[in-house]
Amino acid sequence: MSETSETTETTGTETANPPPPNAEDEIIRFDNLSKRFGDVTAVHPTSFSVRRGEFFALLGPSGCGKTTLLRMLSGFHAPSEGRIFIDGEDVTALPANRRPINMVFQSYAVFPHMSVGQNVAYGLKIARVPKDERARRVEEVLSLVQLNGMAERRPSQLSGGQQQRVALARALVMQPKVLLLDEPLSALDAKLREHMRGELVRLQKQVGITFIIVTHDQDEALSMADRVAVMNGGRLEQLAPPQTLYESPSSRFVADFIGRINFFAARVVAENGARVVASPVLGTLAPALTPPSAAEGEEVTVALRPEKIEVQASPPTGDDPRTRSLPGVIAEVSYYGDYCTVEVDLRGAEGSQRVTSFVPNAIRETGVQFSPGQEVWCAWWSSDILVIDEAAN
Ligand code: ATP
């Protein structure tokens, strides 16, 4: 993470998205929140809101500050500056146990010496909830997480996924306004993790509680969350729904962090009195792709996702003005079962560049076989080209 000066203030932007939530929509608001540990700035001043009832993800590489942000929200870290509002109430100075939120940790932290039912009832007992109501709520929540009939078991008699559900039940039974989940699936194996993603989404929609998940796994964030906040070096890079992050990343960092991507060098030039983006490999791009704020001579990043590049064994015949193609030679092919990655050395007008393309193995018998050394043509829709103006960020 970059330990840059405190004085730079980043509030992060929500791109291509509905306007910021109004006070009724928002359940959480971070207002210029920052955190320093000595001379390390874990979170630079950051402002954004989480909407009521949404499944929200904080995503970013290790050390980007997501856990620190979550800990400030839950009350385990005091912010260096800024304020936190939960449901309109300023909770910045409120101790953790008085905030209307609950947390599920990556190590499930269930009590091994207690039964499942006792584990789930524990918080209610501490809160002096009467016995009858306790029993009713425990039963309800166990059914919600599909652990009916397992109340008498010890955690050691459960699978990893079931233990995770106990941890979830224990948090949900307290009926928090917000549930925080810190890498909740990271201790599970790949298959179970995928299954639990679906379970968590189902559960969240069913209970209607706002979920905030912290993860460094982009698939997890993209597949579960309504909106994702991407963090980098203690700053919010972009906050948007998954599809916007993937199809319209606002920075090179986001484009690179989410999915695979090919980058091309490019610059804004004047052509026939208009500003256009020109790249040595891709040539001149459609005028509509020129970022409005980019000045002549400014460098911009041009990018194209691998699945948007179609590799063809013969030259394209159609002359659809909406598509572009370039010849190239295959450098490498890797087989992944459902698709292949095909690395192609593209030959542009003023330079060549290796690009990665995904070729789906869609048809068993007739799938085109590509091999290294083969002459091919790469085609794409002009509208799939992304132009990222870093200077605008
Ligand atoms: P990970 O995914 O690895 O948990 P993260 O995105 O959650 O990472 P944080 O744990 O929030 O990142 O840490 C952000 C930065 O703050 C890191 O550089 C970390 O070393 C630093 N940091 C976190 N906690 C402390 C602390 N108690 N004292 C000093 N530095 C800290």
Total Cβ atoms within 10 A of residue 179: 25
Q: Closest residue (by CA) to atom 15 of ligand 1?
A: 42
pLDDT at site 255: 96
The C-alpha atoms of residue 198 and residue 252 are separated, in whole angstroms, by: 30
Q: Closest residue (by CA) to atom 10 of ligand 1?
A: 67
- Write the pLDDT tens digit of every residue in 304-351: 999 999 999 988 887 787 889 999 999 999 998 889 999 999 999 898
Tell me the C-alpha to C-alpha distance, in Å, between residue 28 and each of 34, 63, 180, 203, 204.
16, 23, 12, 20, 17
The single-letter DSSP state of residue 97 is G
- Write the pLDDT tens digit of every residue in 3-21: 333 333 334 444 434 444 4
Domain range annotation of the chain: 8-100+176-255, 260-388
Tell me the C-alpha to C-alpha distance, in Å, between residue 272 and each of 74, 133, 224, 287, 352.
57, 76, 47, 11, 26
The C-alpha atoms of residue 334 and residue 148 are separated, in whole angstroms, by: 45
Amino acid at 28: I
Average pLDDT, the chain: 88
- The token pair at 273 is 């009195």
The yes-or-no answer to whether 8-100+176-255 and 260-388 have a common fold is no
Q: If you measure from the C-alpha of residue 180 to the centroid of ligand 1, how many angstroms do you get, rounded to a whole number?
A: 17
The mean pLDDT value for 217-230 works out to 95
Residue 258 pLDDT grade (very low, low, confident, very high; cuts 50, 70, 90): very high
How many Å is the Cα radius of gyration of the chain? 25
Q: If you measure from the C-alpha of residue 124 to the centroid of ligand 1, how many angstroms do you get, rounded to a whole number?
A: 32
Q: The CATH number of 260-388 is which of 2.60.40.770, 2.40.50.140, 1.10.730.10, 3.40.50.800?
A: 2.40.50.140
- Write the pLDDT tens digit of every residue in 48-69: 999 999 999 999 999 999 999 9
59 within ligand 1 shell (Cβ under 6 A): no
Total Cβ atoms within 10 A of residue 349: 12
Q: Domain 8-100+176-255 carries which CATH code?
A: 3.40.50.300
- Write the pLDDT tens digit of every residue in 126-139: 889 999 999 999 99
Q: Closest residue (by CA) to atom 27 of ligand 1?
A: 37
